[in-house]
Structures are given as structure tokens and as C-alpha cells.
Amino acid sequence: MKPSFQEWLEADGLGGFSASTSSGIHTRRYHGWLFLGGQNPGDRWLALSKVEDTCVRGDRRWELSSNLYPGCIHPDGEAHLLAFSKQPFPRFVFKIGDTLLQREMFMAKGMPGVFCAYSILHSGADSDGLTLVLRPLCNSRFYHHTAREGSWVPKVFCRDGAVLLEKHHACDTLALVCTGSVFTQQPAWYRNMTYPVETQRGLDSVEDHFSPGHFECHLAPGDPVVLWAGPVSKQEGVRVYQLLDTREKMSLSEWCQGLAEHARRLRGFEAARRARIQARARGNKALASLYLAADQFIVEGNAGTSIIAGYHWFGEWGRDTFIAMPGLLFTTKRFAEAREVFMRFAREIREGLVPNCFVEGHGAAYNSVDASLWFIDALAKYEQASGDWEFVKQMIPKVGEIIDGYIHGTGNGIKMHSSGLLKAGNRDTQLTWMDARVDGNPVTPRDGFPVEVNALWIRALSLYGNWLKKLIAHGYSGKTGADGTKYSRLAGTAAKRFRQLFIWPGVGLYDRLDEHGPVAEVRPNQVIAGGIAELRLPQQTLVEIWTTAFEKLLCPHGLRTLAPDSPGYRGKFAGGPEERDGAYHQGSAWPWLFGPLFDLSLMLFKTRFSLVDSASYPELKQLAYLMLSHVLRLDSNPCIGTIFEVASGDYPFEPGGTVSQAWSVAEIIRILYFFETVPQGDGASTGPGPDN
């Protein structure tokens, strides 16, 4: 039987995570039982790859672990694996003779480290349990890399019932604790673990891991064995999850002595926390699962709350953050965290530019034209969802900094043209979301006047003008520089010019304008623009955008980034870095684009938020669930319970990229949330949904 390589993910809410497959075999360099977050949310370090766990009874031994090595799988633990489930935590059940043994792993949000609990679910009448031998395989490398023997030489010693490995790159000391055990120090390197997914991706795919020795303990029915791995500070001991104790730290000795009880209580707290998140979905199982997936992207760092763009290898990205924010935070009314995210990026605005991303170890990068505009778009959606005018008022000067920076000109050639439209970049820059490069050259050049950027620009001008007018109406006497009329007029002028230059008869909208005129490429960026009401596009144009998207771009996992009949179309997302980057925005399909397509649908069906036409509501809901039917097979997706980043544009539409992507999850949440909360007109039916 072939092993299952479907993936699972746990996150600690601090930037760290635990991930592997349902067979327990690591297939990526991003798989490991414990990755610790670093100074920034995008910094992560592998600490514990896994544990080589063995059961002993008399003269019989059963291996529970499985790994890929050149030409073989060793040990054969997958052969004893009877069942795997993800909810509420990753749980492996093994058949050991007449005994069923469970290994369950979990992380507690807000506490670095991973728990692994072994328990006997069923045993023969005469069985008094098993002996467990647990050999941890450790590492200390950045998560984008692989390590070989000798790359890390920790000092190993035992203290207070724990094994300590000093000089870890992510913390003072890495601690390994196992209840009721005796540790035998026996340092060794386990060589040549292979990761086939990395081989397919053309990246380093062989790694060595360091083992300091092994724990040995007795596992009896009704008496679980708990192993914990996590960081220890010499000054503070163990950082403890705040719900467990009012203190924020605990001595290592206290932690070791009470580990079994700490694990039991923390598991209960974490299970209850996740249940509360799911309860917000009001019985919609798909939405409940996606709310849990959404929670994994929301992390607390040194700068406050942040949003991780995707697991396993993305950090903080401005564009992704503000596209994802409505689905991740507004639908569940996590407004305090949303305010922290806004302030995190607002503090870093430079010359009107919101950071495109925070580069690991290098600070903010400003190579984006639309991150600032998505910031303004998200702020308007925040006000609509929360009614929090006071916070919006605090952010208005930052909005003004963006708008005026773009009008007068800022970095990367971003400047408002005399027409009122926004021009950005040159042939060597990639400033929109279609930003892939091969050999340093843009794969999808979009310099000039990109369609969705100008749609967002017009919306930003309109919003800023209205906010300034609202300030005056509320008697605000501060210096705003204008009463809003100037910006409202600019928005109107730019929208008129947009309609004159961008409308592509019979197709919808051109993808961009350059020095030669309109660029006739069929891409989903026109769908993003079509859903923005401030453009006041003719109904016929909206219909043409929809028709083009439906006929040429729509596929089971999202919208293609380029129509299949276009020059340069790449229908398969696979291969090494150059092949994948060459297809990234040249035909690959993106699930997050279901969100803009839905916005366009709302405009066409005239069902704008609370204004629902009872005659068209069932049809709209049926259409939405049909389009989402493939990505909503959450238990069958590459990573259980979440939604991937991208997929091939051609049959069989294989998913690729990150296994869990923030804006993919967020935009599907936003669509499902609409149908859970929008008032239904007379005669509206529930329609086909995940629970109907």
C-alpha cells in the first residue's frame, strides 16, 4: 500500500508551526514537529524534525515512525498505522499486536513548543502496557534551508528531568522533556532523509538530523506519556500559555514535574478555544473549518498582530494582508487584532508606500504599487463591518499620505498622470500581484496603467474624499489639507477617463495601458476592477467581464491568470523554480480570485450586501457553491482543512504552491459568510451548501 502524503498543519500563533503528512513521512524540508518563530513572523527555525518512536513488549519491537531515505522507506511504522484524523488535533492510531496506541500532537496558541501525547486506547486483558523508546531528531536551521552533519554542534546535558540542547539559532536552549522516562545520552546523526516534494520543485531535498539520545519509559493503560519540545530561557525558564497560569513564565523544574497535568489542561483550553471559533460559523461545517484555518494565519509578534500570507514559506506581505483581512478578521469580529495589523503597516509607510513585505532579517520592502491601495480598501471594509469611525479617523492622515504621495510621485515611478489615472513602474519592475521573475526579468510585465490598480486608485480617491467630508461634517478642526471635494472630483475625472480608455468592447476591460495603447490580454485583473462600484461601469461591460471570465478563465480551483488561447499561456504549474515562476501568472489558477468574481456577481445580480433580490438570491447561492465545490472539499485538499495557493490551469488542475494560503482561505470565507448573514428575501431558499 502506498503511504498517504496528505498534509496537516498546527500553528502556535507566534509564527511557529508543526507540519507533516498523514502517514508521518516528511516529504518537504518544511515538515517538522516543531518550527520556532524568530524575531519577525516570517523568521522560522527547525527545532525538532520528529521523534523516532518504538514500542517494545518482551522480545517484540514495533516501529511507529517512517522516513524516506534513498531507495527505501525506513522504519516501517506506516505499516502499523491503522487510522489518522486531524480534528481537533493530528492523531495517529497504531495497531500493536492486540493493542491500539494513539499518538496525538498539538500546539497551544500563544505558547512556543509542541506536545506529543502517547496513550493506549485498547489493550488485551492481560496487557500491562508497553515500553516506549523515543529518540528525538533535532535540528537548528532556517526553514528555507536543509542541514547536513556537523552544521550544528550543540552542547547536550540533562537537568531537572529535561534534555537541553544549547546554542540553538531560535532560542537560548531547546528543551526536550518526557514524563516518567529515563534519558540515555547517545549522540548520533541520522543521515540522508529525503524530501520528494523538494526534488520535484528542483530544490535541496536531502537532510541530516542530530539526535542527542533516547528516552525510555513505560506506557500503561490509562496513564499517558507526554513529550514536550520547546524553547527555554536561562533567565525565565519556560514561557507558559497564559490561560494555564497568571504567570508568563515557569521554572524548568516546575514545568517538568507537572508536565502531564500541564499538557492535559492546555489541551483542554486549546480544544475549547478552537470550538469557540468554529461555533461562530453557526453550523456551517465548511465555514467552521475555514475559520480554524484562518486562525492559523493570525500571529502575535514583537510588533503586535500580523497576518502570515501562507504556510509553509511566506511571511508578512502587505497586499496579501489587506486582501485577506476582511475574510480572516472582519467576519469573526476580531476588530482589535485588525486595528493592530493596520497600525503595524501604518507605522512603516514611507512616501505613501505601504510595505510590499517584511523581508526576513532585512525589514520592509517597498516594491508594490497596490499594497497601499488595498490598505485603503480594507480600511473602508473595516469601517463598514465594525462601525468604528474613531479608528478610521486616526488612519485618515495615513490615507492622505498615500494619496498625496501617489499624486505628486513616489518610488518606482508611481505617479498620477494628468488624466487622473495612475502610472507605475517600467519594464524592469514588478509592482502588482503578478510579480514573478525568471533570471531577474519580469515574467508578466505590467508597467504603465494596470487595470485593477487604477480601479483601486479611483476607489481610494473616492473614499478619501468622502472621509474628509465626514470629518468636516463631524466638526473636526484639524488640518486635513482639503475638505474632500478636490479628491472626489479627481475620482470622478479618473473614472470617466478609465471608462474611455479601458473598456474593451466584446471582452470587458483591457489588462493595462502602456505607451503604445491598450494591452489586449485576457486576465482576471479585469474581474477585480469590475467588482469596484466607484468605476460606474456600464452594465454591458460588467456582463462582458463576467462572460469572458466564465468562458476563458474559470476552472475548478479558481480563475486562470491568462486565457488558454493567449500567447505565453502555461497550463501546468510544476517543475523547478524557473518552470513554476514561468507559469505562476501565465495561466495558473488562483482560488483567491473567486472573491473578486463573486463581487462582480453581486453587482450583476443586484444583491449588494443587505439589499437582496429574493428572486435572484437562490440562483446566486447555487452558482457560488457550484463554483466553490472543488476547493470546499477541505478534507481532500493537499493540507487537511485549508485551501492551497495556486493550481494548474489545465486538466487535471493539480494544486500547487503553498498548501495553506491566507487570501485563498479568506476570500472563500467572505463568500460563505455572505450567505450566512445576508437577509433572505421572501421565497429565498437555502440552496445547495456544504450542509444542505
User: Percent of the chain having pLDDT more than 90?
Assistant: 83
pLDDT reading at 637 higher than 70:
yes
Residue 691 lies in a domain: no
> What does DSSP say about strands 181-194 and 206-219: parallel, antiparallel, or unpaired?
antiparallel
> What does DSSP say about strands 72-76 and 81-85: parallel, antiparallel, or unpaired?
unpaired
CA-to-CA distance for 131 and 58, rounded, in angstroms? 9
CA-to-CA distance for 495 and 517, rounded, in angstroms? 18
Tell me, letter by letter, the H, E, C secondary structure of 505-560: CCCEECCEEECCEEECCCCCHHHHHHCCHHHCCCHHHHHHHHHHHHHHHEECCEEE
Contact 352, 464 (CB under 8 A): no
pLDDT of residue 159: 82
Quickly state the pLDDT bin for 238 (edges 50, 70, 90): confident
The per-residue pLDDT for range 468-487, each reduced to its tens digit, is 999 988 777 555 556 799 99
Strand partners, 422: 416
Positive or negative torsion for Cα 438, 443, 446, 452: negative
CA-to-CA distance for 350 and 414, rounded, in angstroms? 13
313 burial via Cβ count (<10 Å: 0-12, 13-18, 19+): middle
CA-to-CA distance for 468 and 526, rounded, in angstroms? 29
Neighbours of 520 (CB within 10 A): 10
pLDDT of residue 614: 53
Contact 96, 87 (CB under 8 A): no
Residue that terminates a domain, selected from 255, 276, 297: 276
Which residue, chain included where needed, has cell 552533519? 149
Contact 165, 155 (CB under 8 A): yes
Q: Give the chain's mean pLDDT.
A: 92
The per-residue pLDDT for range 429-445, each reduced to its tens digit, is 999 999 999 999 999 99
Number of domains in the chain: 2
Name the least confident of 27-41, 363-377, 489-503, 604-618. 604-618
Contacts of 1 (CB under 8 A, 6+ apart): none
- Please tell me what DSSP assigns to residue 272: H
CA-to-CA distance for 662 and 308, rounded, in angstroms? 7
1 burial via Cβ count (<10 Å: 0-12, 13-18, 19+): exposed
Name the least confident of 255-259, 500-504, 547-551. 255-259
395 and 543 share a domain?
yes
The per-residue pLDDT for range 165-218, each reduced to its tens digit, is 998 988 989 999 999 999 999 999 999 999 999 999 999 999 999 999 999 999
Residue 689 lies in a domain: no
540 and 589 share a domain?
yes
305 and 221 share a domain?
no
686 burial via Cβ count (<10 Å: 0-12, 13-18, 19+): exposed
Which residue, chain included where needed, has cell 498534509? 7
Residue 138 lies in a domain: yes
557 and 637 share a domain?
yes
pLDDT of residue 610: 41
Name the least confident of 55-69, 250-264, 445-459. 250-264
CA-to-CA distance for 569 and 552, rounded, in angstroms? 12
478-497 average pLDDT score:
85
**What are 273's three cell numbers?**
478555544
The per-residue pLDDT for range 569-594, each reduced to its tens digit, is 999 999 999 999 999 999 999 999 99
Using alpha carbons, select from 680, 677, 594, 670 the residue that is nearest to residue 381.
Answer: 670
241 and 302 share a domain?
no
CA-to-CA distance for 327 and 624, rounded, in angstroms? 16
CATH number at residue 258: 2.70.98
Quickly state the pLDDT bin for 342 (edges 50, 70, 90): very high
Quickly state the pLDDT bin for 241 (edges 50, 70, 90): low
192 and 301 share a domain?
no
The per-residue pLDDT for range 359-404, each reduced to its tens digit, is 876 789 999 999 999 999 999 999 999 999 999 999 999 999 999 9
Contacts of 542 (CB under 8 A, 6+ apart): 530, 600, 603, 604
> What does DSSP say about strands 363-365 and 415-416: parallel, antiparallel, or unpaired?
unpaired
- Please tell me what DSSP assigns to residue 231: E
**Which H/E stretch holds residue 416?**
strand 415-416
299 and 266 share a domain?
no
268 and 396 share a domain?
no
Residue 687 lies in a domain: no
User: Percent of the chain having pLDDT more than 70?
Assistant: 93
pLDDT of residue 234: 76
560 and 494 share a domain?
yes
239 and 305 share a domain?
no
Name the least confident of 188-192, 254-258, 322-326, 402-406. 254-258
Residue 42 lies in a domain: yes
CATH number at residue 451: 1.50.10.10
pLDDT reading at 690 higher than 90:
no
97 and 146 share a domain?
yes
331-335 average pLDDT score:
96
**Which H/E stretch holds residue 298?**
strand 298-301
Neighbours of 217 (CB within 10 A): 19
Residue 686 lies in a domain: no
Residue 492 lies in a domain: yes
pLDDT of residue 608: 44
Distances (CA, A) of 618 to 50, 539, 680: 49, 22, 9
Query: In Å, how far from its chain's centre is CA 371?
Result: 17
Query: In Å, how far from its chain's centre is CA 277?
Result: 17
Residue 311 lies in a domain: yes
156 and 226 share a domain?
yes
Name the least confident of 20-29, 151-160, 607-616. 607-616
Residue that terminates a domain, selected from 220, 252, 276: 276
Neighbours of 633 (CB within 10 A): 11
User: What range does the domain containing 574 cover?
Assistant: 280-677
Name the least confident of 54-58, 121-125, 467-471. 121-125
Name the least confident of 156-160, 273-277, 337-341, 505-509. 156-160
**What are 439's three cell numbers?**
533570471
Contact 341, 329 (CB under 8 A): yes
Residue that terminates a domain, selected from 276, 306, 321: 276
Strand partners, 443: none
